[in-house]
Amino acid sequence: MPLNPREQRLALGLGIVVFLMLNLLLLPRLVAFNRESRRKNAELQAQVTAAHVWIARRDYWNERKAWLEKNEPTLHAAREESADQLEHFQKSARESGLTIAEVSLLQLPATEFYQPIGARLTVKGPWAGLVRFVSGLQNPALFNVIPRFSIRSDETPPDVQCELEVQRWFLTPARATP
């Protein structure tokens, strides 16, 4: 049954009202969705850009990773490593003309990246010998760290007295496992 003009106008008005109501309901959500999408995409784009930067330096990092894998020492037995370390200190001190006044082993906790084995020493002797001794301890390939180092004049100048803590950082067992 065809609608008369008044009914047509009413139907049109009703249609417009329903359309506007739907839009009032949906449009803010659509706008908010777009705003949120833009924000997320901007974050994602930043992450992608960062990833590109990292990957662009792939060779740089892989070269260092390969060097670490080749040179980082692996801990097999802590006790034996401590004994070897002490023996090395004594030998090196003797060769440098130093006297080891005190020595004590340290119990150090493992970290995510390394397992330290260390000792605290007090050595006395001539300045040149001390320099030779400490220089011999530190080399990137040895993975030795000296977190504490104190040097002062000895009671019998020109000798010096040095207190130091030496740690050797080994590859943690978890990382060492292929």
Integer angstrom CA distances of residue 117 from 79, 81, 83, 100, 121 = 9, 7, 10, 19, 14
Integer angstrom CA distances of residue 101 from 9, 37, 82, 122, 125 = 107, 68, 18, 5, 10
Should residue 62 be labelled a site residue for another protein when binding is judged by CB under 8 A? yes
Least spacing, CB of residue 80 vs another protein, in Å: 21
Least spacing, CB of residue 48 vs another protein, in Å: 5
Should residue 74 be labelled a site residue for another protein when binding is judged by CB under 8 A? no
Integer angstrom CA distances of residue 79 from 36, 63, 69, 86, 164 = 58, 32, 23, 11, 21
Q: Which stretch binds another protein (CB under 8 A): 60-68, 74-82, 83-91, 95-103?
A: 60-68
Among 3, 15, 23, 84, binds another protein (CB under 8 A): 23
CA distance 155 to 19: 96
Site for another protein in 79-108 (CB under 8 A): none
Residues that bind another protein (CB under 8 A): 23, 27, 30-31, 33-34, 37-38, 40-41, 44-45, 47-48, 50-52, 54-55, 57-58, 61-62, 64-65, 68, 72, 111-114, 131, 134-135, 138, 140, 142-153, 164, 169
